[in-house]
Amino acid sequence: MTRLWNEPGDFADEMVDGFVAAHGRLVRRVTGGVARSTRTPDGEVAVVIGGGSGHYPAFAGLVGPGLAHGAAMGNLFASPSTPQVLSVARAAEQGGGVLLGYGNYAGDVLNFNAAQDQLRAAGIPCESIAVTDDVSSAPIDDRARRRGIAGDLTVFRIAAAAAAEKRPLAEVADLARRANERTRSFGVAFTGCSLPGADAPLFEVPEGRMAVGLGIHGEPGLSITDIPTADELAEMLVARLLDELPDGVSSARGARVVPILNGLGSLKYEEMFVVYRRIAQLLDDAGLVAVDPHVGEYCTSFDMAGTSLTLFWLDPELEALWDTPVDTPAYRRGGAVAPGEPLAEVDEEADAAEIGPSDDASRRLAAGAVTAFTRAAATIDEHVDELGRIDAIAGDGDHGIGMQRGVHAALGAARDAAERGAGLGTTVALAGDAWADRAGGTSGALWGMILRTLAADLGDDGSPDPAAAAAGLTRAAEAVMAYGKARPGDKTLVDALVPLAEAFERGIADGSAIGPAWADAARTAETAAAATADLMPRMGRARTHHEKALGTPDPGAHSLALLALTLADQLTPQEA
Active site residues: 217
Answer yes or no: are the C-beta atoms of 416 and 355 closer than 8 Å.
Answer: no
Distance of alpha carbon 310 from alpha carbon 67, whole angstroms:
19
* β-sheet bridge partners, residue 295: 261
| Residue 301 identity | S
> How many beta carbons lie within 10 A of that of residue 17, not counting itself?
12
Q: How many CA atoms lie within 13 A of 333 on its CB side?
A: 18
Distance of alpha carbon 422 from alpha carbon 425, whole angstroms:
8
* β-sheet bridge partners, residue 294: 260
The three-class DSSP label of residue 296 is strand
Answer yes or no: are the C-beta atoms of 556 and 399 closer than 8 Å.
Answer: yes
Answer yes or no: are the C-beta atoms of 341 and 536 closer than 8 Å.
Answer: no
CA angle, 406 as apex, 84 and 559 as ends, to 5°? 135
Greatest extent of the chain over all pairs of C-alpha atoms, in Å: 79
Taken as a whole, the chain contains a residue count of 576
Distance of alpha carbon 133 from alpha carbon 527, whole angstroms:
38
Q: How many CA atoms lie within 13 A of 139 on its CB side?
A: 1
